[in-house]
Structure 1
Amino acid sequence: MDLVKILSERYMKPELPEMNVGDTVRVTVRVKEGNRERNQAFEGTIIAKKHGGINETITVRRISYNVGCEKVFPVHSPSIVSVETVRKGKVRRAKLYYIRNRVGKQAKVKERL
């Protein structure tokens, strides 16, 4: 059991910002197209955090061209360049799946000061 923990700790990222559900984050991902590589940012609200340790994932939702778009990012993946918190959200739930059914101002999360 300790061997698995030791092996997984070696691949975990040590310098992650504090991310909570409701926060707006900008996730920069390394995208490989053919033989070229570039960094692409995805900015949205964290609506869920799952698992823990090396398997930790965040679900980020944003609206682009009036269509909701969600992506699940493994936090400790080597393809993720950086995660930065843009603004803190004030929420009272662990999962914000109800935001999927909201439109416009109702879908906003209040800012924590």
Structure 2
Amino acid sequence: MLVLDKIISDRGSRYAVSGAPCGSEEEAKALVAELKRRKRFAKATHHSWALLLPEAPVKNDDGESGAGAVILRILEREGLERHLVVVTRWYGGKHLGGDRFRHVQEAVRQYLAALG
């Protein structure tokens, strides 16, 4: 799993993005569970993710309303199938409003750039 940690910081909230090739929703859930077993990631507030599969897209906001849809939209636009992307957020105590969607988008863009 490719992990880009501490990539965005805003008003106390911090973001990371991770991902890996993935062929099913069950595998995606297992990969997210594996990520959460890492000490630092276990303390995160949200692990929003999306996976574009040929049969149907899958997403999970993990309490960060709308974040999974943002990730999925980028995966669809890029045509990146069978690849899980997880955006992790450590909540810093201040609401970010719409900026949180901008941060999710930027995290996914950084991940795609790292993939090449």
| TM-score w.r.t. length of structure 2 | 0.28
Specify which structure has the higher proportion of helix: 2
Specify which structure has the higher proportion of strand: 1
Larger Rg: 1
Higher RCO structure, 1 or 2 (CA under 8 Å, sep 6+): 2
